[in-house]
Structure 1
Amino acid sequence: MVQTAITQTIKTLNDVHNKFNLRRTEDEQFFTEWFENLPELTQQEQATLDQIRDRYRYHRADGVLAEGAVNLIVVSRLLELAGFYDFPFKLRSEVSVEITTVVDDEILRGRIDFLVVLEQFWVVVLEAKHSDLNIELAIPQALAYMMANRHPDQPVYGMVTNGGMFAFLKLSQQAFPEYDISDVFSLLPRRNQLYDVLQIFKRVAAVLQD
């Protein structure tokens, strides 16, 4: 059986669609968590998010930020604010995964940047890239990692970011593999859209604990 790195095989949405018989849903109610019933943020949370945005802009102004810098300046802080470092969640990093494609029985291997686990169930997959990468290129990879969920009866959420742009994903395999993608949030506008990002994280965390 052929074994290949996910990064070599999955480069486009058509790749992940064809390899896993995955499709994007047309159901507008499939992924409402990113825009409905979002929690209010405290003034302290907003101040912290302003600091994260300003710090990112300060370092990004000198040029491209490596993936490690994006994780330190932005991603790790967001995970902390969302409560993913604390009970009942467990955070794992650099998680090796293996998944067999549906179509050609090919084994794909990869490594998840950040994985949030709740009672041994995968709940959030995060894929972080260097600041110069278009996050659209990271979405197919993230979906492939999400397909490796060992409990396909449970939906999995994902986020892709390059530090300056963010998009959320939801994938379900309950009836057949399908997913949807949120709006893209950016640090370019004057209004700090990290507020939206944290609200979505906190909403997802609440849904997972219901």
Structure 2
Amino acid sequence: MVQFIQAHNVSLAYLEARFGLQQTEGEDFFTEWFDALPEITDIEKQYLDRVKTNFMRLVKHPPILENAVKMLVVSPLLDLAGFYGEPFFLATEESLEIALEDEGEIIRGRIDILVIQEKFWLLVIESKRASFSLLAAIPQTLTYMLANPNPDKPVFGLVTNGEDFQFIKLIKQDKAKYNLSDKFTLSKRQNELYQVLRILRKLSQSLS
């Protein structure tokens, strides 16, 4: 009998056991989040300051749901990073299934935002409500990234709850390996959306 598993219920231990997923500690595996990042303009910084102000204002009136996070924070970042134009295409609420035939299990989920170039997956974005921990979102996002139909190409992920942001890189070639960036947060005095945008722009420029 086939067992259906929802992606949001998947743990890192499950992914390690079923897919052989491994986290690598080598800094050279995921340099895209810190090496040679493009600069952003003062006008873009001013806009990101407004994005931060708008979000922090909403924090005073919980709950802040996923759609608000996507509208207020994720959408402006994707626009500024260049993901709304050619050669990229955005898919939202993309359904997927991963079948583990030997185990008799099928994982089901729905990707919040998927950035595609032609047929190649580039960036998986999972947004959560503001009270949600990124630690709980990372296994779900990795599950979606493992479903990438082009295993010879790396795929990147971004998890956010509007306040915190963390990037993921996954390669599936011989063994499924991943690593995480540092976590960026709006709770600091400096606006770390600047750095998040620089990373997203680096990805859009290097992947286009």
TM-score (norm 2): 0.96
Deviation of the 1:15 alpha carbon: 2.1
Structure 2 distance, partners of 1:76, 1:47, is 16
Match of 2:20 in 1: 21
Contact 2:15–2:143 (8 Å) recurs in 1 = yes
Give unmatched runs, 5+ long, in structure 1: none
Which 4+ runs in 1 deviate beyond 3 A? none
Please state if 1:98 is matched with 2:93.
no
Is the Cα contact below 8 Å between 1:19 and 1:102 reproduced in 2? no
Map Cα deviations across residues 105-146 of structure 1 (whole Å, 9 max, x no partner): 421110000000011100000000000011110000000000
How far did 1:6 drift? 1.5
Post-superposition offset of 1:102: 7.8
User: CA separation of 1:23/1:103 partners in 2, compared to 1, >3 Å: closer, same or farther?
Assistant: farther
8 Å CA contact retained: 2:163, 2:185: yes
CA distance in 1, matches of 2:190, 2:135: 23
Q: Distance in 2 between matches of 1:193 and 1:103?
A: 44
1:145-173 CA distance string (max 9 Å, x none): 00000111110000000000000000000
Deviations 1:71-111 (A, max 9, x none): 11111111111111110000110000111248724211100
Q: Describe the shift of the 1:61–1:103 C-alpha distance in structure 2 as closer, same or farther (beyond 3 A).
A: farther
Partner residue, 1:57: 56
Is the Cα–Cα contact under 8 Å of residues 20 and 103 in structure 1 kept in the other structure?
no
Count residues in correspondence: 207
Residue 207 of structure 2 corresponds to 208
Comparing 124-133 with 78-87, which one deviates more in the overlay? 78-87
**1:61 to partner: Cα distance:** 1.4
Runs of 5+ consecutive residues of structure 2 not aligned to the other structure: none
Q: Distance in 2 between matches of 1:97 and 1:43?
A: 40
Secondary structure of residue in 2 paired with 1:45: helix
1:154 counterpart SS class: coil
Decide whether the 8 Å contact of 1:18 with 1:103 is kept in 2.
no
- The equivalent residue for 1:116 is 115
RMSD between aligned residues = 1.2
TM norm structure 1: 0.95
For 2:3, the equivalent position in structure 1 comes to: 2
Q: Is the Cα–Cα contact under 8 Å of residues 17 and 23 in structure 1 kept in the other structure?
A: yes
- The one-letter amino acid of 1:4's match is I
How far, CA to CA, are the matches of 1:131 and 1:51 in structure 2?
A: 18
In the alignment, the residues of structure 2 paired with residue 7 and residue 58 of structure 1 have an alpha-carbon distance, to the nearest angstrom, of 28
Match of 1:144 in 2: 143
Percent identical pairs in the alignment equals 43
Is the contact made by 2:8 and 2:137 (CA closer than 8 Å) also made in structure 1? Answer: no
Residues 102 and 195 of structure 1: CA distance in aligned 2, closer, same or farther (over 3 Å)? farther
